Copies of this chain bind each other. A is one copy, B any other.
Amino acid sequence: MDKYKTEVEMLENYDANKYKTPDGYTSDIAVFTIISTEVEKHKPPVKELKLMLIQRAEKDAEGQPNVEGSKWALPGGFVQPDETAFEAASRELEEETGVTNLKIKHFGTYDKPGRDKRAWIISNAHYAIVPENQLVKRKAADDASDVQLFTLEEVSQLELAFDHEQIIADAIWIIKKDMGLTTLAKNFLPEEFVLSELQGVLLTVLDDSWIKLDSQFFRKAPSLPFIEKVMVDGELKKSNRWSKNKAQLYKFTDYEPFVSIYNANY
């Protein structure tokens, strides 16, 4: 019946030297933000999806060459025994960006033997979405530092530490999926937004031909069950932040849509 023993049964008659245990348990976070750069007044700005990376030091504290030194890596760190990997990610993200209440999601465990040459290190990967205005101030504060935002294009050119290239590829795949399947876009947008802003956010991440076609998107969007028109005193609230003509403001509702491949449109 040996094969039916669970971890803890095995631990019962378990002496600490008999089973090897991991040498480190860490959390890494792929921090995404969308940077808008205004090109012209009353024009929708150019939006770009960016990822925050840190550059590993060339030399360690003793002045010795650092392993994977000078390469770029996801921010992260050790999980402490009194917290979960998720909590560690949240704590570390707060330390690095100074922003709280961010959307964080655990999306994978990276534990392939040899991913770190020197030890058995497990990493829990998370993604986080930071509204751009919150990150921009920090970015300006310490420019030319070892923390930088890169477009995905740029990231693909960088030398990345460990298996972070894979983790980043997975993170990108996941946020694309979640962007289409959940109301993740909410985390990139202000409380109240205009349909073209929503479309912009979606297209920055997604490249979906249906969303790209204005006539289709703007026709269907107003009746999506998870957003609603903003009203003030029974009047429709509008904005001309991005366009010459006033456009309707929307906000997300609490409704969490559920779709299925069995009654979808193809």
Interface residues of A (CB under 8 A from B): 1, 3-13, 16, 19-26, 28, 54, 56-57, 60-62, 66-68, 73-85, 92, 95-96, 106, 108-109, 111-113, 116, 118-124, 146-147, 161-162, 180-183, 202, 208, 210-211, 216-217, 220-221, 224-226, 257-266
Contacts and interface: CB of A to CB of B under 8 A. Distances in A.
A122 B81 CA distance: 11
Residue picked from A92, A121, A181, most chain B C-beta under 10 Å? A181
Given A25-B111, A82-B113, A181-B259, 7 more contacts: A6-B56, A6-B76, A8-B116, A12-B60, A180-B258, A210-B260, A225-B266
Looking at chain A's contact residues, the main secondary structure is loop
Contact of A260 (B76, B78, B106, B259): B259
Nearest to A185: B262
A4 B81 contact: no
B11 A24 contact: yes
Contact of A8 (B121, B261, B264): B121
B21 A68 contact: no
Contact of A6 (B11, B73, B211): B73
A66 B265 contact: no
Contact of A162 (B8, B25, B60, B77): B8
Q: How many copies of this chain are found per oligomer?
A: 2
Nearest to A179: B260
A80 B111 CA distance: 11
Contact of A109 (B23, B73, B95, B124): B124
A116 B81 CA distance: 12
Contacts of A22: 21-22, 25, 122
A165 B247 CA distance: 49
Nearest to A3: B95
Given A7-B121, A8-B68, A261 B161 contact: no
Nearest to A85: B111
B77 A5 contact: yes
A19 B22 CA distance: 12
